[in-house]
Amino acid sequence: MGARDSLVGRAEELGVLIDFLETGEDDGLVLTGESGLGKTALWEAALDLATELGIRLLVATPGEGEERYSFGVLVDLLREVELDALELPASLRGPLDAALLRVPAAGGVDAQLVAAAVHDTLAQLAGGRRVLVCIDDVQWADAASLEALTFAARRLSGQGVGFLLTRRVGFDRSPLEALLVRRRLRYVEPRHLPAPDTAHLLAERLGLVVPPRVVRLVHEESRGNPLHALEIGRVLLERGTPGLGEPLGVPEELATVLGVRVQHLAEEQQSLLLALALEPQAPEAVLAELVGVTALDEAIRARLVSVGAGGRVRPWHPLLAAAARAGSSGGRQRELHVRLAELATSDEARARHLALAHPEPDEALAATLAAAAVRAGERGAALEAAELAELALERTPATAPARPGRVVALAERLAAAGEGSRLSARIEPELASMPPGPERGAACLSLLDGIVGSMDNLEHWIERALAECDGDPAIRSAGLQIKAMTALGIRVSGVPAAQALAEEAGRLGHVQGIGRDWFLIHTGGQPETDDPHPRAKGRVWRGEPALAEPVLRDEIASAEAQGRIRSLVQSQLDLADLLLRSGRLAEARELVVALDDASMPDKESRDEDLLRARVAVLAGDAVTGEHWARISEEWAVGFGHGWIELDAISARGVAALLAGDPDAAAGHLQRVFDRVVSAGVENPGIFPVVPDLVEAMVLLARYDDARDAVRWLEERAVAQDHPWALAGVDRCRALVGLASDELTPNESADLARRAADRYAELGLRPDEARGCLTIGGQLRRRRQWGLAREFLERARAAFEVSGSDGWAALAEQELAKVGGRTPSASGWLTPAERSTAELAAHGLSNKEIARRTGVAIGTVEAHLSRSYLKLGVRSRSQLAGALGPVPDDGADEPGG
């Protein structure tokens, strides 16, 4: 694996490096920044890429202290260079050999002659191919080498010699850099990694997956510095994940170094750092009151702490506060908690510090903490609420009447924060001491948000809750509602049974609300409540992604801000589904990576494996798609997750179609269709397999079976006025009619064209492209060359816009069998198509074009697909040269 393959979160920086190396327009590039940000890793990645590009590399990696060795960098740079192969005059060769320690120096080495020799050497090496002089940590390079390189660089600008340097921040520019900056020099400073990339780094390098709250802690402690994040990650591997409110460990080597520094600080400064460890959000005014204004100012001047926006005080080094905590006693920490409680500016902070100062059971303190947890939850602080609820339970006496209620409250808070493992570990042991009744039943239901292991176990907890709740109507109706949702959304075991359970829950007085919404969506109806989640998913399943996307993105932003991890993950999964149905492959890939990196370690479902399968299939990679779909299906069968099982089988069916195996495809897709029908799922967009199943049946000449599937789809499409299904009916009828000779080629083409236009207007590019590819292939087999070319070129263009390379290749193969080219008249664009194409050619994204022209993104994509087709181009970069004049009347192409 090359160096750049292991980089995390460095796409932007790599893009600059790639451009520098590929264009050769600049004399040099300098990677700079603080230690640990990844300058050397990017430098090594650039070396890999330069080697692939055929650039000759001269490499030196001086270390601290080597700057006193004259010409040491030149020795490294020219170590592999055969000077005998060059034509250097003797007057220069001798001094250069001496400087490179290849011959004994007969007296002093003339630096000016060495510089001239270096110039000639680089110039001759660059005569055959480009040369790149690469120096890592140029601040340690010796002055003699830099002087020679500077002399050469001054005279070699634009002659195929470039310089790639790294320099640590805080060091002055070298003479070489000072020269290059007056010429053509680029700078790249690796940015601090955001939290998602920090999670990816931990997973990629250490195989460490931690809860999102721990990712945030690692990110805050490391400040996005990859080296520091990995050091902390190694401590987590050794010591395990910290609990709520517990600190991260300090790497042993850093603990030693930083601990010594902290021990030699004044008492006020030690207290300041310890206070920041115990209360990272402490404002400047509180800390000034705690240690005094003078001590705080001295700490700022001594670079122990810094003050940022909003008056937030932070340790100068991210691990200084952690080292102060590690070096302090429990008694000293409790004393400081008492003082922080006195100075706290919020009731929640005051309660937390009091609890940490007084670890013994105390009902009054527990009640205060429980109330604080409620307030924190109400303002959307899920993690803070969970920590306060846990402290409340810990401070509650074992025999206190309030304890069962606090067990349930803690379960609710841990579920909201996405702490499934901790929920199971804390709540299940409490059940034995809880009396029968509603709270014990509620505690059983709360365990459904923990680690259940299988659907059988999940259903066990539901039944136990119903048995333990002592007939309480609220708990019983909640249990029945969950059973209904399980039948609908996990088992996919029967909509009528789910409806009966939901109705019984309603009769018991439980508000049906969201449960009824899901039932209505499954049966083809519209939600009745204003809850955004079922409304958005219903839109996705009806083929209306443009209406669903803003809702999902708002929900993601809200859940992220409030720390509602489970809601966040679910909304991200829903967005990934939307992106895949829309053919936005690059965005979907990014989201799948983010989901995989930020996934909760105790999350049981294998949604990411299923998404990998769907991404691969959409890209046109049948082998990878089948691999991940099979893994996903096997897990789903073992767990009992019918929904993921059906989606995985569907992906296997499309992968089989892609691989040219209609028998296997029909087998997979028929299984899904039969289970959907038997379960009473009436909404055809939930498991959208009918068009794929019909395609497989047509390829097998099973026309009667295909007609039955189309009839099922058409009945629901019309009854529900279902946009996706209505387009699908046209697509399927066109295909079956043409293959069975029930329709003429022109009649079939009209239906297929109407279906494709509908898909395009909805923003469903994969359906548009797949439908065009299939009907185009059938038309080609009937020697309908013009019609076949129309559909196949439209399919290819749509696939290419999506990045579906494998599918685009299939369309290209079909086109090759048609022959001929599109007539020039097809280059005419409508005004809307031309306007969209011009904006795209100028570099605007689809979202920016939609904003500027006032249309939906799906409409932009449809205009671009048709423009690609008419102009005969395959990428945005080709648009500018291909755009022709717009007809005066703005009509479609002649004869259209």
CATH of the domain at 813: 1.25.40.10
Residue 885 pLDDT class (50, 70, 90 cuts): very low
Residue 889 pLDDT class (50, 70, 90 cuts): very low
Q: Range of 46's domain?
A: 3-188
Predicted structure pTM score:
0.68
For residue 888, pLDDT over 60 is answered with no
Q: Domain for residue 702, yes or no? A: yes
Token pair of 662 as six digits: 């209609």
User: In Å, how far from its chain's centre is CA 9?
Assistant: 10
Q: Domain for residue 495, yes or no? A: no
Q: Which of 168, 188, 208 is the last residue of a domain?
A: 188
Q: Are residues 145 and 37 in the same domain?
A: yes
Q: Domain for residue 473, yes or no? A: no
For residue 327, pLDDT over 60 is answered with yes
pLDDT at residue 613, rounded to an integer: 96
With vertex at residue 119, the alpha carbon angle to CA 114 and CA 124, rounded to the nearest 5 degrees, is 125
- Which letter, b or e, does each residue of 597-628 get, where b requires 16 or more Cβ atoms within 10 Å of its Cβ? bbbbebbebbbbbbbbbbbbbbbbbbebbbbb
Q: Which of 762, 789, 820 is the last residue of a domain?
A: 820
Q: Which comes out higher in pLDDT, residue 311 or 368? A: 368
The Cα 504–Cα 489 span in angstroms is 18
Q: Which comes out higher in pLDDT, residue 395 or 883? A: 395
Q: Are residues 19 and 155 in the same domain?
A: yes
pLDDT at residue 469, rounded to an integer: 85
Q: Are residues 665 and 693 in the same domain?
A: yes
Q: Are residues 730 and 866 in the same domain?
A: no
Q: Which of 820, 835, 864 is the last residue of a domain?
A: 820
Residue 128: CB atoms within 10 A of its CB come to: 9
pLDDT at residue 259, rounded to an integer: 61
Q: Domain for residue 45, yes or no? A: yes
Q: Are residues 844 and 870 in the same domain?
A: yes
Tell me how far apart the terminal alpha carbons of the chain are, to the nearest angstrom: 52
pLDDT at residue 892, rounded to an integer: 35
* CA distances, 648 to each of 522, 611, 655 (Å): 19, 9, 11
The Cα 275–Cα 356 span in angstroms is 13
* CA distances, 887 to each of 790, 838, 840, 891, 894 (Å): 21, 15, 20, 7, 10
Q: Are residues 743 and 881 in the same domain?
A: no
Q: Are residues 722 and 847 in the same domain?
A: no
For residue 577, pLDDT over 60 is answered with yes
Query: What's the mean per-residue pLDDT of the chain?
Result: 86
With vertex at residue 204, the alpha carbon angle to CA 192 and CA 251, rounded to the nearest 5 degrees, is 65
In tens, the pLDDT along 804-850 reads: 999 999 999 999 998 654 433 334 566 677 778 888 877 777 767 86
Q: What is the CATH number of the domain that holds 831?
A: 1.10.10.10
Residue 10 pLDDT class (50, 70, 90 cuts): confident
Q: Are residues 840 and 811 in the same domain?
A: no
Q: Are residues 44 and 184 in the same domain?
A: yes
Mean pLDDT to the nearest integer, 597-610? 67
For residue 868, pLDDT over 80 is answered with no
In this structure, of 168-177, 536-545, 622-631, the range with the lowest mean pLDDT score is 168-177
Residue 706 pLDDT class (50, 70, 90 cuts): very high
Residue 204, classified by CB atoms within 10 Å of its CB into exposed (0-12), middle (13-18) or buried (19+), is middle
Tell which residue, 642, 604, 607, has the closest CA to residue 453.
604
For residue 715, pLDDT over 70 is answered with yes
Mean pLDDT to the nearest integer, 409-428? 88
Mean pLDDT to the nearest integer, 781-793? 94
For residue 544, pLDDT over 70 is answered with yes
Beta bridge partners of 135: 60, 165
Q: Which comes out higher in pLDDT, residue 849 or 17? A: 17
For residue 451, pLDDT over 70 is answered with yes
In tens, the pLDDT along 524-535 reads: 888 888 888 899
pLDDT at residue 675, rounded to an integer: 95
pLDDT at residue 528, rounded to an integer: 82
Q: Domain for residue 792, yes or no? A: yes
Three-state secondary-structure class, residue 679: helix
Q: Are residues 784 and 835 in the same domain?
A: no
In this structure, of 324-338, 386-400, 630-644, the range with the lowest mean pLDDT score is 324-338
User: What is the DSSP secondary structure assignment for residue 355, as one 8-state letter?
Assistant: H
Cβ atoms of 756 and 790 closer than 8 Å: no
In the chain, how many domains are there?
3
In this structure, of 234-248, 654-668, 717-731, the range with the lowest mean pLDDT score is 234-248
Q: What is the CATH number of the domain that holds 35?
A: 3.40.50.300
Tell which residue, 604, 641, 603, has the closest CA to residue 456.
641
pLDDT at residue 694, rounded to an integer: 98
In tens, the pLDDT along 373-385 reads: 999 888 878 888 9
Q: Which comes out higher in pLDDT, residue 687 or 203? A: 687
Q: Which of 8-17, 19-28, 103-112, 754-763 has the highest mean pLDDT?
A: 754-763
Q: Domain for residue 221, yes or no? A: no
Beta bridge partners of 187: 30
In tens, the pLDDT along 719-746 reads: 999 999 999 999 999 999 999 999 999 9
Cβ atoms of 770 and 752 closer than 8 Å: no
Q: Domain for residue 544, yes or no? A: no
Cβ atoms of 145 and 71 closer than 8 Å: yes
In tens, the pLDDT along 455-485 reads: 898 999 999 999 888 888 888 888 888 888 8
pLDDT at residue 615, rounded to an integer: 95
Three-state secondary-structure class, residue 409: helix
Q: Are residues 814 and 841 in the same domain?
A: no
pLDDT at residue 254, rounded to an integer: 61
Q: Are residues 730 and 835 in the same domain?
A: no
The Cα 297–Cα 526 span in angstroms is 62
For residue 887, pLDDT over 60 is answered with no
Spatial CB neighbours of 19, under 8 Å, sequence gap ≥ 6: none
For residue 871, pLDDT over 50 is answered with yes
Tell which residue, 389, 476, 399, 392, has the closest CA to residue 433.
399
Element (H, E) at 780: helix 765-781
Q: Domain for residue 596, yes or no? A: no
pLDDT at residue 781, rounded to an integer: 93
Mean pLDDT to the nearest integer, 576-590? 94
